Amino acid sequence: MANVFDIIGPIMIGPSSSHTAGAVRLGIIARALLGESPACAQIKLHGSFARTYRGHGTDKALIAGLLGFTPDDLRIKDSLQLAAEQGLSYSFEPVDLGDVHPNTTLIELKGISGKLLSLLGSSVGGGRVQIHRINGLPAEFTGEYDTLIVYHKDTPGVIAAVTSLLASHNINIAQMKVYRSHRGGRSVIVLETDEQVDEKLCRQVKAVPNVTGAIFLHVI
């Protein structure tokens, strides 16, 4: 049975839920994962995004998300100008990203401190998104749940320590996926939770041996 969201779509600035609202959400998630304001953005656009991004305002929507705007923010239409005023440089490049959804983008960011992030994600309709890769590693999630992303070295005990910490704070895990580059290499845990993870708990997760970073994404 369809819910109200499926029928009427998200609260958003138009013209398109896929090309605007979804694109804003992709930008918001990329900014959150970077963990700081971006100073430079190289945005590669695939398929329908590549063909129609100016006409449908996808460029403005992606930049608006990188500035921290929500899909219903009236400033979306002025986001390119606002980015220039705030010192965010950006570029758009149509590319072929292979066998992916037609509304897919690869966002490559450099933060104000020099921190780097790459995110591959798709806008899949109705304002919904699907994240596919973070910094080259698979990391599938939608942003429809509160989500804790934990980066770590692939060593025994890390997953148990992280999940035990969440349990001790009465955080229920709705879904969990683990991805790694290779045995003993870079790894990422994606935990979708029923409750929010506060900053104190996030710091405790970061302090787990062999964890290299953690960030909590509140549902958008």
pLDDT tens, per residue, the chain with 220 residues:
333 234 334 444 444 555 689 999 999 999 999 999 999 999 999 999 999 888 889 999 999 999 999 998 999 999 999 999 999 999 999 999 999 999 999 999 999 999 999 999 999 988 899 999 999 999 999 989 999 999 999 999 999 999 999 999 999 999 999 999 999 999 999 999 999 999 999 999 999 999 999 999 987 6
The SS3 assignment for 85 reads helix
29: nearest Cα among 123, 166, 113, 94: 123
| Cβ–Cβ under 8 Å, residues 79 and 85 | no
How high is the pLDDT of residue 67? 97
Rounded alpha-carbon distances, angstroms, from residue 24 to 89, 94, 116, 153, 175: 17, 18, 20, 31, 24
How high is the pLDDT of residue 8? 33
Could you tell me the pTM of the whole model? 0.85
**pLDDT tens-digit readout, 67-105:** 999 998 999 999 999 999 999 999 999 999 999 999 999
What tokens does 21 get? 């609202």
Q: Is 63 left (phi over 0), alpha (psi -120 to 50) or beta?
A: alpha
Residue 117 and residue 202: Cα distance in Å, rounded?
A: 19
Share of the chain above pLDDT 70, in %: 91
**pLDDT tens-digit readout, 122-145:** 999 888 999 999 999 999 999 899
How high is the pLDDT of residue 11? 45
In the chain, the domains with their CATH numbers are: 4-135 (3.30.1330.90), 146-217 (3.30.70.260)
How high is the pLDDT of residue 127? 87
How high is the pLDDT of residue 54? 87
DSSP H helices, the chain, are: 4-8, 22-34, 47-52, 58-66, 79-85, 158-168, 199-206
What tokens does 127 get? 């304002």
